[in-house]
Amino acid sequence: MAIEYKKSQAIFNEFIGVEEAEALLEWLQKNPKGKVNFAECTHIHASSLQVLMAIKPPIAAEPNDADLAVWLNIALK
């Protein structure tokens, strides 16, 4: 499972593929206060990225991947 949905956090694991977008959107709508945790994430497919950009959820942890961190910083600020 690429995204693990906990009670108040969505944990992004490594590579997030195109199929995650719909579930992510649903979860973020249901859990408006839900945080996202990118720590272990290396890449997010553009479809999920645009969901994140539309909602801009609070971030629990930034990605360890430096390049992705720069991009997410720009996209989600």
Partner 1 sequence: MNNLLEQFLSEARDFLQGIAEKLMQLENEPNSTELMVELFRFVHTLKGNSGLFDFPEMTRVLHASEDLMDAVRNGRVSYSQTLADQLLEAMDFVSALMDEIELTGKTGSNHVGTSTELTNALRALLNAPSAVHVPVAIETYTEDGLAVKAISWSELPPMDLPESTAMGLHRCAVDGETVLWLQYTPEPECFFKGEDPFFLIRQIPDVAWRHIILNNTASTLAEMDVFSSQLVFQLLTIASTEELDDLLRYVPDQIHRVKVPALAFVKPTGNSDDVALDEDFIINILEFFDNDEIETLTNTINTMLELSSPELWSSSALRWILHLIETEPDNKPVQRTLLEALRTQKTPDWSALTLPDVEPTQNVVASPVVSVNISEISDTLLVYFNEVIEAQKEILSLPASSGGAWSAGRLKAVGATLIGCYRAVQRANEVEHIEDALKLALTENSPTPLLIWLDNSLLDTHEPVLVEDHEQHEEHLVANHLAAQTDAKSSRRPEEIGGANIVAASKTLKVDQDKIDRLMNLIGEMVVAKNALPYLANRAETVFGVRELSREIKAQYAVINRVAEEMQDTIMQVRMMPVSFIFQRFPRMVRDISRKLGKEVELVLEGEATEADKNIIEALSDPLIHIVRNSLDHGLEMPEARLAAGKFATGKLLIRASQESDRVLIEIIDDGKGIDPDVIKQKAYEKGLIDESTLERISDQDAVNLVFAAGFSTADVISDLSGRGVGMDVVRSAVEKVNGTVGIESERGKGTRLFLSLPLSMAVTNVMIIESNTQIFGVPMDMVVETVRVPRAHIRTIKQKQTTVLRGRIVPLLSLNDLLAKSEPQLPNEDDEFATLIVRVHGEHVGILVDDFRETVDIILKPMTGILGGLPGYSGAALLGDGSVLMVLNPRELI
Binding-site ranges for partner 1 (CB under 8 A): 18, 21-22, 24-25, 28-29, 43-51, 53-55, 67-68, 70-71, 74-75
At its nearest, how many Å lie between partner 1 and the CB of residue 35?
A: 17
Closer of 18 and 39 to partner 1 (Cβ): 18
At its nearest, how many Å lie between partner 1 and the CB of residue 65?
A: 10
Task: Provide the CB-side half-sphere exposure for 74 (13 A, CA).
Answer: 5
Closer of 5 and 71 to partner 1 (Cβ): 71
Among 6, 7, 9, 3, which Cα is nearest to 49's? 3
Residue 64: strand, helix, or coil: coil
Closer of 39 and 46 to partner 1 (Cβ): 46
Q: How many helices (H) and strands (E) does the chain have?
A: 3, 4
